[in-house]
Structure 1
Amino acid sequence: MKFEPTQPGNPHRLTLDQHVFPKAGIQRFTNLDGSVEIFVKKLNRALQLRPNNSIFCAKRVWDQKTESGVGKRIEDRFQALARAIISGSVTTIGIFEKRIVEEFFSLWRTRHKFKTEGLADISLHGITGASLTKDQQEILESNHTLYAVDGAMKGRLMASLHIFGYQNQFLLDTQSIQWGIARSYSDEFIVPDSFDDMMIVPVSPRIAIVADLPDSVITRDQVAAINQAAMARASDYYFARRLSVCPVVREISPPFERRFDDRSY
């Protein structure tokens, strides 16, 4: 979908660069100079970039309600859980934590889908809608209000409905799934732009939440299996604190074969 710029100066402070994987999550993987090492597939090389770089973002693909309302609430709950896991105050994924992890995983995956596929505008047959100025449209969006112009609604305005639809189906499909906290002593995890069907959520360079894995300190080979899955499923890039300390293997071992059946996506 074509990027729609705001009015000059963006007077209503609409978010233009929208992080697919949250900025707060990327920041936990930064090195001492505040950047992460990212391998960009189309360039076939690694770069040092900061978490606010636009490569990590979609360009105004979803609306402000989805960004600062729906998405932020899911992100905030997950970031609080991530901090608790890192500090050691949460050591297992119980019923309450499971919901937080699954809502976040679905949000991350859905945002990536939005970024790569876009959201088509919707024609409202038989409804012409009011003629709105650019300023009026932006005021409505900043107030999380839907609107139509010339009988059509911009696809990004319907993003939150897609978020909830995909999320509800995902929660139904994963009712029997248990997540575990995987910790590594020295080897570090790679984060892809999307894990696609592999149900893994990186938390920090040495901690990940993995479906169907008991809470455990995992081996170098297991970290390598997760990293290989990350690299294989990344569409545009993957990153880490230091790629050189992220082991990789060519075959995925059985504990990491849990995948999400994405027929509803």
Structure 2
Amino acid sequence: MLPEQIRGKRIVKFEPTQPGNPHRLTVDQHVFPKAGIQRFTNSDGIVEVFVKKLGRVIPLKPNNAIFCAKRVWDQKTEAGVGKNIEDRFQALARAIENGSVITIGIFEKRIVEEFFSLWRTRHKFRLEGLEDVSLYGVAGDSLTKDQQEILERKHVMYAVDGVMKGRLMASLHVFGYQNQFLQDNQTMQWGIARSYSDEFIVPDCFDDMMIVPLSPKIAIVAGLPDSILTPDQVTVINQAAIARATDFYFARRLAVSPVVRKISPPFELQFDDRPY
């Protein structure tokens, strides 16, 4: 394990649970799903992670804290909203891998875009946190720590002494960003991109570039038809991943994930003009 969780420039306040976490609230919250990282692991169950802060590659397991936010959003957003989006996407990813889905149709498009928006929103939460909100004119309740955790476990929003914790409003932000993203990209088409030999790199977030890596040799890319990519085209995607990574990027084997080549022919990728 790394000695500390890597974050952006802003320090995000962490509120620990009660000792022993009696209500089993999720503390380490994956930004990119653990199931997605596992598809990039080698035979030893690890991925190779280049940590920008350290300037070197570290072999890590998918449950390492580097992949997680530290209780930045609430249990409703984690186990309810987020899990529902993740489950649909993971089912689609398995179907693409086994060949039962060979193109991104209308149904699949919605699943991909909801997942991409969730991934990007979680990354924003991880870097910036969510500010508490003062409810003027609403006193709220003086709840004990145990009472607060019980309510959160039951996916209930609450205020304490007129203040609602920012993480309790995370689901509202998730849906808000998601609805805007879906609206802005109504005509966008996504393609399934495959590589025969070279492998994809996954950043902690692709930010404005609409790409979702599925496995070392499969990615879903906006504005691209279903296709087999050349080594140069895989290089373009990997260069974009490295350029947009905030704290780290990973792959199954970074040595076979090309990042430097003369790019030919030209390869155009799609960007989202609005960050969220």
TM-score normalised to structure 1 length? 0.98
Aligned to 1:115: 126
SS in 2 for 1:210: strand
Of 68, 72, 78, 1:67 maps to: 78
1:20 matched residue in structure 2: 31
Report the Cα distance in structure 1 between the residues aligned to 2:261 and 2:148, rounded to whole angstroms. 50
Aligned to 1:257: 269
Unpaired runs of at least 5, structure 1: none
State whether residues 180 and 209 of structure 1, in contact with CA within 8 Å, keep that contact through their aligned partners in structure 2: yes
Report the equivalent of 2:185: 174
Q: Write the distance in 1 (CA, Å) between the matches of 2:230 and 2:206.
A: 21
Query: Any idea what SS the aligned residue of 2:18 has?
Result: coil
In 1: Cα distance, 2:77 partner to 2:187 partner: 28
Q: Percent sequence identity over matched residues? A: 78
Distance 1:217 1:101 in 2: 20
Is residue 131 of structure 1 aligned with residue 142 of structure 2? yes
1: distance between equivalents of 2:274 and 2:177?
Answer: 10
Give yes or no for contact 2:75–2:152 (8 Å, CA) kept in 1: yes
AA matched with 1:210: V
Mapped to 2, the partners of 1:256 and 1:143 lie a distance apart of 46
Alpha-carbon RMSD: 1.2
Q: Which amino acid aligns with 1:6?
A: T
Contact 1:225/1:256 (8 A) holds in 2: no
* Structure 1 moving runs of 4+ over 4 Å: 250-254
Pick closer, same or farther for the CA change 1:184–1:192 going to 2, 3 Å: same
Q: Distance in 2 between matches of 1:257 and 1:48?
A: 30
Cα pair 1:226 1:256 within 8 Å, conserved: no
* Counterpart-to-counterpart distance in 2, 1:40 and 1:233: 13
Seen in structure 2, the aligned counterparts of structure 1 residues 194 and 256 have a Cα distance that, compared at 3 Å, is: farther
Asked if 1:241 is matched to 2:252, the reply is yes
- Alpha-carbon contact 2:236-2:267 (below 8 Å) kept: no
Which residue, out of 94, 97, 104, partners 1:93?
104
Q: Which deviations, in whole Å up to 9, do the C-alpha atoms of 1:25-84 show, x marking residues without a partner?
A: 000000010000000000000000000000000000000000000000000000000000
**Equivalence for 1:148:** 159
Q: Contact between 1:212 and 1:255, CA under 8 Å: does it hold in 2?
A: no
| Cross-structure match for 2:238 | 227
Q: How many residues matched?
A: 264
